[in-house]
Amino acid sequence: MKINGVHYRTVWMEKTVVKMINQAVLPHFFRIEEFKTHQETARAITDMIVRGAGAIGATAGYGMAQVVLEAPDTSAFLDAVAAGAQTLTRTRPTAQNLFYAIDRVSVAAKAARTVPEARASAVQAAEQIAEEDLSSCASIGCHGASLLKDGARVLTHCNAGWLAFVDWGSALAPVYTAVREGKRVFVYADETRPWNQGSRLTSFELGNEGVSHAIVTDNASGFLMQRGQVDIVIVGADRIAANGDVANKIGTYEKAVVAHELGIPFYVAAPTSTIDRNCPNGDAIPIEERAEDEVLYCRGLLDSGEFGRVRLAPPGARACNLAFDVTPARYITGIITQKGVFAPGEILQAVS
């Protein structure tokens, strides 16, 4: 990820402080925020200062390392570690990478013989999660780029690029890799209400990478596909069930149904850390419902130059704000992982 010619990761840790790009104010302001305690880091996840499957996972791993670093060097150490893990677990219920990271760092800490060893092991495990996320996404880019022909027109939903992971991304990694290989690629980026991750973040990324693209309203994608203007759909995932059903940002399901009806390839891109082998199918995936105000209001840059929000709905109106939906495996052409492209029903082979 390069912004103004400078390479950044989405999230990283310096000593005991977690640092990250504030995604809530992009693309209007570029800010690096610092979070000194695991409670602050947990709040950053809940408030979507950081969002995206891999970035949430890496942040949770760093937050769990903070828990271990903050825990007292007494008999209460393990209780403090367990309590901190619960704080982080409650931040977002759908993203599998979050639970994967919390569990992995917790296991590393608990396996240590001494508290100092536990602290070092926790930090090491968190850093490994971040490094593996980056490496996996780079490999996803290589596998996925082979699916894109020169001149490909790609439809994507939400943001599954640099900002959704430590770097590279999942759904956009094949695009970035293909473009760097010299292929011409055009991207239609769904705006993705209510947080507008497509119009704010995907467009921001594609612009920085010099990738040709257009932002489209969420309800325009089906017509674009019907008119023959989309060659392939690639989206990310927040959790993949054992049978290949996929939870992703709300609105993904309808794109998959239309693509299936029209015979357009529909791919999901995700590292294997997003696969929940203990989740039998999509019906077992918990779906997060967020605050009504995210739908009733819209946030952005006002004409005054200030960052703020405006109300869209009538006074007293209520909203249902489901953050994710589930796409059944039968609508998915393939799942692009760092280990290759798998049929949805064979996805457990990627983690065997």
How confident is the model over 50-89, as pLDDT tens digits?
A: 999 999 999 999 999 999 999 999 999 999 999 999 999 9
The pLDDT averaged over each successive group of 10 residues in the chain (352 residues) is 89 98 96 98 98 98 98 96 98 96 98 97 98 98 98 98 97 98 98 97 96 97 98 98 98 98 98 98 98 96 93 98 98 98 98 91
Distance CA 307, CA 343 (A): 44
In the chain, DSSP finds a helix count (H) and a strand count (E) of 11, 18
Which residues of the chain are in CATH 1.20.120.420 domains? 2-138
| Predicted TM-score (pTM) of this structure | 0.96
Q: State the Cα–Cα distance between residues 82 and 237, nearest whole angstrom.
A: 28
C-alpha 254/C-alpha 259 separation (Å) is 9
Beta bridge partners of 216: 190
CATH of 2-138, one of 1.10.3720.10, 1.20.120.420, 3.30.70.370, 1.20.1290.10: 1.20.120.420
Asked if residues 20 and 10 have their Cβ atoms less than 8 Å apart, the reply is yes
Q: Are 94 and 238 in contact (CB under 8 A)?
A: yes
Tens-digit pLDDT profile for residues 238-280: 999 999 999 999 999 999 999 999 999 999 999 999 999 999 9
The whole-number pLDDT of residue 3 equals 86
Query: Is 238 tagged catalytic?
Result: yes
Architecture (CATH level 2) of domain 142-351: 3-Layer(aba) Sandwich (3.40)
Domain with CATH 3.40.50.10470 in the chain: 142-351
Catalytic residue of the set 133, 167, 218, 238: 238
- State which amino acid sits at residue 165: F
DSSP alpha helix (H) spans, 92-114? 96-110
